[in-house]
Amino acid sequence: MKRRLSNRKLINCFIIVAGLLLASCETTKKVAYFQDISPAAQSGLANAAKFTEPVIQADDILSISIFTMDPTTNMVVNQVGAQATNSTNPTAALTATPATGGFLVDKNGEIDLSIVGRIKVAGLTTFQARDLIKEKASQVYKEPNVQVRYANFKVTVLGEVGRPASYVVPNERVSVLDALGLAGDLTIFGKRENVLLIRDINGKKEFARLDLNSAEIFNSPFYYLKQNDVLYIEPNKGKAASLNQARTQTFAVIGTALSVLIVLFTRL
């Protein structure tokens, strides 16, 4: 009878250890990115996501530099832009990377350039806006050189990442992986197979689910982020288990302390 009990104990221990090993393997499988890339495809992916340039909208802030033969003129035009950003972008201090100087696109989709005047840039890409501004500036300056880029291209990363925050990036070609890299990557508790992307399109919210475990993310139309996109990384069951474990330990400590107090009071 005792031998049977000991055999049962050994079998139970074996089952528990096997279960723990399987659970650890399953956890490891969910941590690695792009697991389904075959050896034949590791040299490159034929169907990569296509990048489309974002268009300028109201409330965007553009960094515009106009260079002419006269250095004094350059200072006048570009300094006004820097002042405009500081006075019209109160959220710049809240972002992980502060925005540079620029010109605010008003509700009419226009910017107001010193000497050059008001120019409508809403609906244009930065490349198209550069050509338009250069055309307008050529009426005032001789052979001006114009540079245009976003000064407040912001993406937000929330949830189970190292540094959740809003990030202002210096260019408009930003991928999901770029944003996660800025945020310190996912924690061990982040759901890699169910990353939520929230996008604002003309006042309406669009939602997409991305799977970082699959190489198909490189083909996704949501691989490249747009202005004001939000990424949310949901916690997995391990996070809930760790919180429950910490809570259980806290209750155990409290229970032990109460037991000690009860024993002390009963002996008084």
| Domain boundaries of the chain, sorted by first residue | 61-150, 153-235, 243-268
Q: How far apart are CA 120 and CA 175, in angstroms?
A: 28
Confidence check: pLDDT of 255 > 90: no
Q: How far apart are CA 144 and CA 142, in angstroms?
A: 6
Query: What pLDDT was estimated at residue 176?
Result: 95
Q: 69 vs 122, which has greater pLDDT?
A: 122
Confidence check: pLDDT of 89 > 50: no
The answer to whether 61-150 and 153-235 have equal CATH topology is no
Identify the H or E element spanning 222.
none
Q: 203 vs 182, which has greater pLDDT?
A: 182
Query: What pLDDT was estimated at residue 128?
Result: 96
Query: What pLDDT was estimated at residue 115?
Result: 81
User: What is the bridge-based pairing of β-strands 117-120 and 110-113?
Assistant: antiparallel
| Residue keyed to tokens 């006042």 | 203
What SS3 class is residue 223? Answer: coil
Most confident listed range (64-68, 72-76, 163-167): 163-167
**Cα-based torsion angle of the residue sequence 26, 31, 34, 40 in order, rounded to the nearest 10 degrees:** -60
Q: How far apart are CA 176 and CA 81, in angstroms?
A: 30
Task: Report pTM.
Answer: 0.65
Confidence of residue 44 (pLDDT cuts 50, 70, 90): low
Q: How far apart are CA 169 and CA 99, in angstroms?
A: 8
Most confident listed range (74-78, 153-157, 168-172): 153-157
Q: 241 vs 60, which has greater pLDDT?
A: 60
Q: 171 vs 14, which has greater pLDDT?
A: 171
Query: What pLDDT was estimated at residue 252?
Result: 59
Which structure tokens are listed for 260?
A: 């000690």
Average of per-residue pLDDT across 234-242: 70
Confidence check: pLDDT of 220 > 80: yes
Confidence check: pLDDT of 81 > 90: no
Q: 21 vs 42, which has greater pLDDT?
A: 42
Average of per-residue pLDDT across 191-207: 91
| Residue keyed to tokens 């809403």 | 122
Nearest Cα to 101, choosing from 122, 75, 119, 120? 75
Domain 61-150 listed as CATH 3.40.1190.10: no
Confidence of residue 257 (pLDDT cuts 50, 70, 90): low
Confidence check: pLDDT of 28 > 50: no
Average pLDDT, the chain: 76
Which structure tokens are listed for 188?
A: 């061990």
Average of per-residue pLDDT across 128-149: 90
Q: How far apart are CA 268 and CA 264, in angstroms?
A: 7
Confidence check: pLDDT of 25 > 50: no
Q: Quick one: 153-235 is in which CATH superfamily?
A: Outer membrane lipoprotein wza domain like (3.10.560.10)
